[in-house]
């Protein structure tokens, strides 16, 4: 009985356990044996699906839960649902980032990710750091932007020209000479 009520997204509100229908005999026995006098349960709905229930009971008095209380329970349930969904979304995003990093750093090819608008390096993998014989990304960023990472004719301005060609014509293949 209880499951059917929840699945149909109905709020369950009884001022007395004795007022439960005969089809709820198992629930009635459970509530009586645990000393419940009255009971309310509000389904928590997220994106059109019931993801749980928020329930309150009174062991002190028989009472009918007021509509403003039930509305408050719904709001609290929605807050919980949103927080849980946000937590799950952040978890999935972190897992995706971890997978990306593993693939990104597993290759022996040096990979530079550039901002197509301004040519700034957004990210690079460990192979790119190793190519220059450095310890971390920051060291390489400093060398690139100070124009000391590349041989004299291969300055950052020339790289920006190649980026502009990519913007107009798509992927480009070109040689680049570093000091190492």
- Tell me how far apart the alpha carbons of residues 90 and 87 are, in angstroms, rounded to a whole number: 5
pLDDT tens by residue, 61-106:
888 889 999 999 999 999 999 999 999 999 999 999 999 989 998 9
Cβ-Cβ contacts under 8 Å for 26 (sequence gap 6 or more): 1
- Tell me how far apart the alpha carbons of residues 5 and 12 are, in angstroms, rounded to a whole number: 7
Q: Please report the pLDDT score of residue 93 as a whole number.
A: 96
For the four alpha carbons of 62, 17, 77 and 71, in that order, the dihedral sign comes to negative
User: What do you get for the CA distance between the two ends of the chain, in Å?
Assistant: 74
pLDDT band at 152 (very low <50, low <70, confident <90, very high): low
- Tell me how far apart the alpha carbons of residues 27 and 2 are, in angstroms, rounded to a whole number: 7
Element (H, E) at 13: strand 12-14
- Give the SS3 label for residue 1: coil
- Give the SS3 label for residue 152: coil
Residue scoring higher pLDDT (132 or 43): 43
Q: How does DSSP classify residue 8? A: T
pTM, 2 dp: 0.56
- Tell me how far apart the alpha carbons of residues 50 and 2 are, in angstroms, rounded to a whole number: 13
Q: Please report the pLDDT score of residue 49 as a whole number.
A: 87
In this predicted structure, the answer to whether residue 159 has a pLDDT above a threshold of 80 is no
In this predicted structure, the answer to whether residue 176 has a pLDDT above a threshold of 80 is no
């Amino acid at each position: 009985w209880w499951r059917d009520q929840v699945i149909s997204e109905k709020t369950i509100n009884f001022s007395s356990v004795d007022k439960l229908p005969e089809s709820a005999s198992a629930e009635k026995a459970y509530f009586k044996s645990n000393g419940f006098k009255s009971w309310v349960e509000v389904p928590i709905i997220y994106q059109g699906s019931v993801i749980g229930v928020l329930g309150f009971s009174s062991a002190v008095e028989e009472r009918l839960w007021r509509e403003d209380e039930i509305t408050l329970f719904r709001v609290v349930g929605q807050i919980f649902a949103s927080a849980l969904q946000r937590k799950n979304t952040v978890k999935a995003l972190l897992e995706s980032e971890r997978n990306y990093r593993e693939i990104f750093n597993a290759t022996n090819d040096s990979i530079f990710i550039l901002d197509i608008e301004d040519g700034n390096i957004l990210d690079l993998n460990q192979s790119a750091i190793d190519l220059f014989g450095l310890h971390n990304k920051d060291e390489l960023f400093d060398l690139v932007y100070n124009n000391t990472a590349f041989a004299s004719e291969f300055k950052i301005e020339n790289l920006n020209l190649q980026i502009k060609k990519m913007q107009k014509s798509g992927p480009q293949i070109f040689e680049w000479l570093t000091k190492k």
